[in-house]
Amino acid sequence: MPKQKLCPSCQEHFDEVTRLLKGKIDFEIDPMLVRGLDYYTKTVFEFVAGTNAQNAIAGGGRYDSLVKSMGGPACPAIGWALGAQRVASVLEEQNAQEEQNKRENKFFVISMDKSCNQTAFNLMQNLRQAGLKTLGGIFDKNIKAQMKQADKNNCRWALIIGTSEVEKGSVVLKDLTNAEQKEFLQSEIISVLKKVQNEKN
């Protein structure tokens, strides 16, 4: 893209703006940035946050001629507008990320049926003996209550055993930060958990 050529006065002003920003506010120069009103002069800007495609939360610029054009004296001015809904969305995203970051590398064993309790208990003990931080054991509670306890303890993963898993000798590993889950053999689960734990550290 060809570099835009500014008049000497505008170039001097732009250089001064960028000099004052450096080391204080992170910024990127975007020659394609435009504002929707034609009374802006010299610098226009946007503040961005979050990871969404439309991540501008505020924008504005200088309008040194606006006051005079409306019958007032020549007066340099600057203004901006903020999108309340965009800010709310970014805050929700940040809160979700903070909640995810709070979760610790702990495992919570869940039994889905009374007939699965012994298998779930044995798994819980095996994980503890392998040095993995493991909670659980409230197998008399329903699955919703067990999941709630896992969440309360900021566990990163849940290990879920139902009648189908007992028959197959497997266990479902669920990531409580994004609800993704996958089934593994119980014979390989310790090595799997150590691997995912190291990946998240």
Q: Is 2 a residue whose pLDDT tops 60? A: no
Burial 124-148 (b: 16+ CB within 10 A, else e): beebeeeebebbbbebeeeeeebbe
Q: What is the mean pLDDT of residues 159-169?
A: 95
Return d(Cα 16, Cα 161) in angstroms, integer. Answer: 64
Q: Is the dihedral of CA 18, 22, 27, 28 positive or negative?
A: positive
> 119-134 pLDDT, tens per residue?
999 999 999 999 999 9
Class for the domain spanning 103-200: alpha beta
Q: Where in the chain is the domain with CATH 3.40.50.800?
A: 103-200
Rounded Cα–Cα distance for residues 113 and 51 (Å): 41
- Do residues 158 and 176 make contact, with C-beta atoms less than 8 angstroms apart? yes
Average pLDDT over residues 187-191: 94
Give the 3-state secondary structure of 150-195: HHHCCEEEEEEECHHHHHHCEEEEEECCCCCEEEEEHHHHHHHHHH
